Structure 1
Amino acid sequence: MSSRKVRSLARNRIELASKTTTAKGGSPGLVNQIVPVAMSRVRQDVLTWKTALTMAGKTEKPKRFLLMNLYDEINIDGLLRSQVGNRFLKSLACNFQITDKAGKLNEEVTNFLQDKIWVNEINKAILGTVTHGHSVVELDWIKKLNNVETTKPQLGAKLLKRQNIDPKEGIFYPDYRDDKGFAYREMREFGTWILEFGDPEDLGLMNCAVPHVLFKRFAQSCWSELCEIAGIPPRVMKTDTQNIAMLRRAERMMKEFGAAAWFIIDENEAFEFAEATKADGVVYESLMKFCNNELSMLFNGAVMGQDTKNGSRSKEASMQETLQTLVNSDLSLIEQYWNAVVIPALINIGIISGDCVFSYPETKDIAQLWSMTKEAMQKYEMDIEWMNSTFGLKILRPLQAATAPATNLSFGEGFFV
């Protein structure tokens, strides 16, 4: 089927779905009901974390907004973001396919879903259950894309703020500071326009990362204070403090010392640098390194990249294998939620139809496969079309065997004997 025909069928399907289905029965949607709340940027400590865990674990009306605010706060840590991205971006970059139950590829639906922004948002929400434990996504028809009016409505997917969700009781709070909410699982849009992922009891990997980020911030703060105190040796100026003129002149010279590193003093005055402290910050550096290693182990299963002192090629290769195992687990999680939750919802909305199975093509070790192919080429004829598609080659045809030049036998066969 041509790409033009596929795009035409996709547009027709969108138009039909938007005309025959009213998003959430005309309700304003959960996303639009969320009350904006300014986030306080005060210093976080272990007591804040324990208080948040206590609120999230209450038997009656548990609230997770303190814990989710803490997750957002620690998410600005550079190493934490890099480790999470190092793992999840691999899954988001993989191409998927839609097949029927017999395993036959459905090119129309695959091409239609492959480049959709809302598909990527759904996948990020599913992966978010690994870090945050739970995600709720709301689908809706949107008429603006990047603040630009669209000629035709397009499907959009928005993650409901986790601060406003109580997954244990299934309650949505428009204002998470208030106790007034309603059960989103009892809404008629649940399962079609409102999709839920994750375990309501799980708090995610971020909960394990909180103490390490907080301790690292503490060590970094103490180390920076040490640098401020002991990084530059203090300057000492001895003068007659009873003489106001000499005292003022000494103060002026000390203030201007950075711009003019010389001055003239009286014979009764003296200037020297005090001996700096012997502390070099090794304790703080060790604590920060420990916290970084724990974060890397938590999200990627190994200390990767940053340990350049003790690193080696074989060690990094084994770490990549460990990371790939986690990525394969994430891909399997996405497949399960798409087939159990997302595809039935898209069929009910009218986006897709028929038997659809979401899956990722089986990954191949290209290096090992090429090595096996080279060995097989010595004895067997290979499929040129398969080699071109598998290895990205452009083989046209086999080379003709070179013919040996004819031997001049005019002198007889025994001439060189």
Structure 2
Amino acid sequence: MGKNRNKGDKTLLQTPFGTLRLAKNVAKRFRKTVMELQRTTDSLTRKDIGDWRMAWQMAINVENPNRQRLYDIYRDVEIDLHLAGCIRQREGFVMARSFKLVNGKGEEDQKAAEWFNTEWFKQLMKFALDANYWGHSLIELGDVTTDTNGRKCYEWARLVPRKHVSPEYGRVVEQLGDDWEKGVDYRSPEIAQWLIEVGQPDNLGLFLKAATQTIPKKNALAFWDTFAEIFGMPMRIARTTSRDGKELAKMEKMMADMGTEGWAIFQQGTEIEVVESSKGDAFNVYDRRIDRANSELSKLIIGQTMTIEDGSSMSQSETHLEVFQNLVEADCDMIRDMVNNQLIPRMIKHGFPIKGIHFEWDYGIDYTPEQQVAYEQLVLDNYEVDPAYFQEKYNMPVGERRQQVPVIGSTPPDDGGEETKGNKKQHTAKPQPFFD
């Protein structure tokens, strides 16, 4: 009786953690919120081109732009393995490049570079590069603190959740689904001094285009798995004249359990037939569609295919590498402008002693260890080198350079084939040719 009575009470909510009693004035609103959250969770499991087009339409709405559904699709796009490899390759070239801090005279300031050789700056660069694919990144700088060496640094660099940001109007909303007018203006001077904004307000990123390939690719992989499940293994057919239900059930169990090195005992008159699939392989249908999707993704992210896939010739690969390097240079320019125009002014305002310093990439030649040894040996053989160079570079004590003793060889014989020993001349035998 008590169970039936509680079932009709709308102020009671059954949860895995127990029964909650809600106030009457909020019960209806709370249940509506729970239903909306559940519906959103279900929609994340099924994405197709129709969902992508609808999410795109919502994101470009002029009066009330909303990128939440589009970002849900971007989450599915992001886990594509080939796409992730392309992004890692492109971002890796930027993150691995050396940089330097120079003063107004163009001289390198190695002491100023110590303020940027930190974890928070690397994380800031990573979030900034992600703006190429998501369209926009709003990065928050942590409180100013000191590191283990006593130098000033930011506690962290953290990404503001993209679903809460409306870059078209420069607002951050507290609750998902709220209009941008209810949000906080993050471009106001009081708040902007702790924020770094990367990306154009109306840019939706490269993931918008990548979704046109990752969604069909995911479907092709799922269909291929279904094809392999149906046609990959031969079908086993058992024919019998028995009508005994127990015997039929026994035969069914034997057929179901018949796997590797399987065996079974059947009644006389039972026939077992193994039918091979007459369908051809799915290579021309599914594998080529997946390869085409990977090729399109490579062209989108890294501008070509041969630096991440198999190439056909050295000349073509060099051309593709030049295209890829142009994209890397564009990313480097974006990072440089972000640091010089946004980060350094904020650091100066927060008390970092880097006034008059600007960020530049170090385009010096990077030698391999073998090339470095050959280069240094060439210089040592022809010029005098200050020992402080090796002491500073290799962090090892270096003394004065040793004077090399020249090697004195024996006196060559004269033209007559004779050599002098004391006051006498001795004739040396000339070598005879092997053939007469």
TM-score higher than 0.5: yes
Q: Deviations over 1:301-338 (max 9, x none)?
A: 22146534x55555555544433332222112111111
Determine whether 1:120 maps to 2:125: no
Which structure exhibits the higher relative contact order, with contacts defined as CA atoms closer than 8 Å and separated by 6 or more residues? 1
Deviates more, 1:169-178 or 1:279-288: 169-178
Determine whether 1:299 maps to 2:301: yes
Identify the residue that residue 62 of structure 1 maps to in structure 2.
65
Cα separation, 2, equivalents of 1:46 and 1:144: 49
Give the drift of 1:416.
5.7
Cα separation, 2, equivalents of 1:398 and 1:91: 45
Identify the residue that residue 356 of structure 1 maps to in structure 2.
357
Q: Percent identity?
A: 24
CA change 1:62–1:239 in 2 (3 A) is same
Give the drift of 1:249.
2.4
Q: Deviations over 1:227-282 (max 9, x none)?
A: 00001011101013633233122212212212662223233211111231323112
Deviates more, 1:218-227 or 1:246-255: 246-255
Tell me, which stretches of 5 or more residues in structure 2 are unaligned? 1-36, 413-418, 429-436
Q: Which residues in structure 2 correspond to 1:170-249 (within 5 Å)?
A: 170-179=170-179, 181-240=182-241, 242-249=243-250
Q: Deviations over 1:155-194 (max 9, x none)?
A: 3211111111111111211222222632424433344112
Tell me, which stretches of 5 or more residues in structure 1 are unaligned? 1-36
- In structure 1, the residue corresponding to 2:61 is in which secondary structure? coil
Determine whether 1:84 maps to 2:84: no
Give the drift of 1:298.
1.5
Q: Which residues in structure 2 correspond to 1:12-411 (within 5 Å)?
A: 40=41, 41-114=44-117, 116-141=118-143, 154-179=154-179, 181-240=182-241, 242-258=243-259, 261-282=262-283, 283-304=285-306, 307-308=309-310, 311=312, 315-364=316-365, 366=367, 381-382=382-383, 384=385, 402-406=407-411, 409-410=420-421
Counterpart amino acid of residue 404 in structure 1 = G
Cα separation, 1, equivalents of 2:129 and 2:154: 24
Question: Is 1:173–1:182's contact at 8 Å kept on the other side of the alignment?
Answer: yes
CA change 1:404–1:325 in 2 (3 A) is farther
Give the drift of 1:359.
0.9
- In structure 1, the residue corresponding to 2:342 is in which secondary structure? helix
Cα separation, 1, equivalents of 2:219 and 2:64: 33
Counterpart amino acid of residue 257 in structure 1 = M
What TM-score does the superposition give when structure 2 sets the normalisation length? 0.74
Larger-Rg structure: 2
Cα separation, 1, equivalents of 2:81 and 2:403: 53
Question: Is 2:127–2:139's contact at 8 Å kept on the other side of the alignment?
Answer: yes
Deviates more, 1:399-408 or 1:76-85: 399-408
CA change 1:334–1:305 in 2 (3 A) is closer
Cα separation, 1, equivalents of 2:346 and 2:262: 73
Counterpart amino acid of residue 421 in structure 2 = S
- In structure 2, the residue corresponding to 1:273 is in which secondary structure? strand
Give the drift of 1:365.
6.2
Question: Is 1:239–1:246's contact at 8 Å kept on the other side of the alignment?
Answer: no
Q: Deviations over 1:340-397 (max 9, x none)?
A: 1110111111123320101111142648x969x97x969x9356469979x98x9967
CA change 1:215–1:235 in 2 (3 A) is same
Aligned-pair Cα RMSD in Å = 3.6
CA change 1:47–1:382 in 2 (3 A) is farther
CA change 1:346–1:78 in 2 (3 A) is same
